[in-house]
Each structure stands twice: as C-alpha cells, then as structure tokens.
C-alpha cells in the first residue's frame, strides 16, 4: 500500500475513534443538530475504519506467516509459504476495497438525469444520428428498468432530431451515464448518398443530474420569462388544444428550457424548472472547474468534427472511445443499447483519476 494512502486511512481511523468518543459524551445529548452531524460522519467513516482494521490484522498475519516460512523445520516452512500465498490474495482484495471506499462518492450517482442530444455538424445525417443515439440510450434504460420521458424535441426533416431533451428516471442512472457528455462522431454512408461515400457527422450529448430538494437552486421570479404555447403532436383525438407547453428563459444567463411532454401546463412548468436548475448548477460547476477541465480525459467537447470523445464507424463496425483508448468491433450491439462494455472503462478511468488526486 502506498504511504500516502496509508496515512490518509490512519487519519480517517483516528477521526472515527474521535467521533465515537464525542458521541458517547453525555453533554452532547442536548444538542440534536451536533449529534445528528456527528452521527452522519460516524456512519460515513465506519466502513473505512473497519476495513482498515481488517487490513492491519491481515498484515500482522502476513508477518507471522513470514516468520513461519523462515523456520528451520521444512514442514513449518511449507505451512508458512502456503499461508503467505493465501493471505497475499486476501490482503490485495482488502486493499482494493479500501481504495474504492476512499474515492469520494458523487451525491448524484443514485439519482435521475436529464439527457440532452443535439445534432452538430453534418446536416440531415447529424439529426438522424441524434435519433440513433437517443434510441441507444433508451434501450439501455429499458434494459435497466428505467423510465424515459421526453421533455421536448425538434425533429429533423429526414428523420431523427435536431434536438431532443429527455428525463431518465431510475436508480443509478447518473452513475452509469455521467461520462457520456461530449461530442459523438459518426462515420457512415448516408441512405441518401448515391455515390457510396462515407460522411462524417457529429452530435453533442449532455448528461445533467436531476437535483434533490436539498440542493435547490434559488431563482428569483424577476429573473424568469415564462411563455406558454401549444405543443406539437401527432394529432387525432389527443391533439393538444390548449397552451400547455412551457418555455422558460433565465434572463441573467440566457438559458432557455422547454417542456411539452405533459398535457398539464403545471406539470410542464415543474419539469422545465427542474431542468433549468440542473443547467444552472452545471454551468456553475463548469465555471469552477474550467481550468482543470482542459487537462481531464473525460471532458466535454463543443460539437466540432475535430473534437470528439467517441467515434462510431459503421463501415468497419467499430466503436472507439478516444478518452480511454478503447476500441470495440461490435458496433451493432452497442447502438442497440448494449453499453456496459463501453461505460465500465470510463468509470475505471475516473476512479484512477480520483485515486491519483488522493495521493
């Protein structure tokens, strides 16, 4: 174990013991807020402290096994060697567990997300690709039992979407998809291409966590312009005959959000406000981390062809994620929603970055 990791674990274990003593102090019983705060800290520290204690016990066992392996008796040496091998595997597993516990947990990991997909360079083909991406994420969501709700959409002239914004509801949606933000590039022969030439198009994807009530972003009413309009639909008996769709403009930033999914203006307004708050929070985070973002592998692009996080090459059946040097030759399965083999290396890269930051 690296010395920097060990020192951090020792500090956390010491703090765990300190918090336990503070909680046992009778003088604390009258201070409910302080008691609640310490109880939450104790609960956060307990898994790390207990696992570190188990790791230290294993280290002592390894030292004892080493002494046994140095015994003059051949049978004792054999027994010591066997114990060392068994303990080596256990101590490696425990160390890996401790490193996982040290990685700061993103408070949004278990929550819902807003998924925004916009056609970039490439005209009609970019819009069609946006539709392909939305279908890919929708199928992945279905496979995990999540719900996909379309909040607003602008369809392309020849299929797909110029823009589509949706909400994905399901436990762990953000943790699985948070690294999908960025520019996605497609290389393929469009159906309208008579000469069989390969075209390159792009779409941008944005993943925003839906905020919990405790994270609510304060917004002054004077900073909002709210417009209502009649949402577009397929017609028929359910055609929208009222101005239930909602468009909200945040005047200080110019951010505009829309929702036309529900027939209720009240519900559309509530959804649009939730999306606006998510965008405002993301904008503030981007501002705070702009300097570091330039050097991060898991960064978001702007939509230009030359900036991409991932390439979907249909003639070769190949997907390449340029952030983690990942290449897979099973593109058809991936665009049909089988994304785990793509997403897992990104999560591992993030964990590696976090561990490096700890050191």
Residue ranges in the chain whose pLDDT is less than 50: 234-240, 291-296, 299-305
Length of the chain, please?
A: 359
CATH number listed for the domain at residues 217-286? 3.30.160.20
- C-alpha–C-alpha distance, residues 99 and 354, integer Å: 10
Please state which architecture CATH assigns to domain 113-214+310-356.
2-Layer Sandwich (3.30)
- Chain-centroid distance of CA 207 in Å reads 8
Residue 36: the pLDDT is: 87
């Amino acid at each position: 174990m690296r010395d920097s990791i060990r020192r951090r674990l020792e500090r956390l274990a010491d703090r765990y013991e300190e918090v336990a003593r503070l909680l046992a102090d009778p003088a604390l019983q009258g201070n409910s807020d302080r008691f609640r705060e310490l109880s939450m800290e104790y609960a956060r520290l307990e898994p790390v402290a207990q696992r570190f204690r188990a790791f230290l016990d294993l280290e002592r066992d390894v030292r004892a096994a080493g002494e046994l392996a140095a015994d003059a008796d051949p049978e004792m040496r054999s027994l010591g060697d066997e114990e060392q091998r068994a303990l080596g595997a256990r101590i490696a597993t425990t160390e890996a567990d401790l490193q996982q516990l040290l990685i700061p947990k993103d408070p949004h990991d278990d929550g819902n997300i807003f998924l925004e997909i916009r056609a970039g360079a490439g005209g009609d083909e970019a819009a069609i690709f946006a539709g392909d991406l939305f279908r890919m994420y929708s199928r992945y969501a279905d496979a995990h039992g999540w719900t996909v709700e379309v909040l607003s959409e602008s369809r392309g002239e020849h299929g797909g979407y110029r823009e589509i914004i949706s909400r994905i509801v399901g436990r762990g949606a953000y943790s699985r998809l948070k690294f999908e933000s960025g520019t996605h590039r497609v290389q393929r022969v469009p159906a309208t291409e008579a000469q069989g030439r390969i075209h390159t198009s792009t779409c941008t994807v944005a993943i925003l966590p839906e905020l919990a009530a405790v994270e609510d972003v304060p917004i002054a009413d004077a900073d909002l312009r709210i417009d209502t309009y009649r949402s577009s639909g397929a017609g028929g008996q359910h055609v929208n005959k009222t101005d239930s769709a909602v468009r909200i403009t945040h005047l200080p930033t110019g951010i505009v959000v829309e929702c036309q999914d529900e027939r209720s203006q009240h519900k559309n307004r509530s959804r649009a406000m939730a999306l606006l708050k998510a965008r405002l929070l993301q904008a503030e985070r981007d501002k705070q981390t702009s300097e570091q973002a330039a050097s991060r592998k898991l960064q978001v692009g702007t939509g230009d062809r030359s900036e991409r996080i991932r390439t979907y090459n249909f003639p070769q059946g190949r997907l390449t994620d340029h952030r983690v040097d990942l290449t897979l030759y099973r593109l058809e399965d991936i665009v049909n929603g089988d994304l785990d083999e793509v997403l897992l290396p990104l999560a591992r890269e993030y964990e590696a970055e976090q561990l490096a930051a700890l050191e």
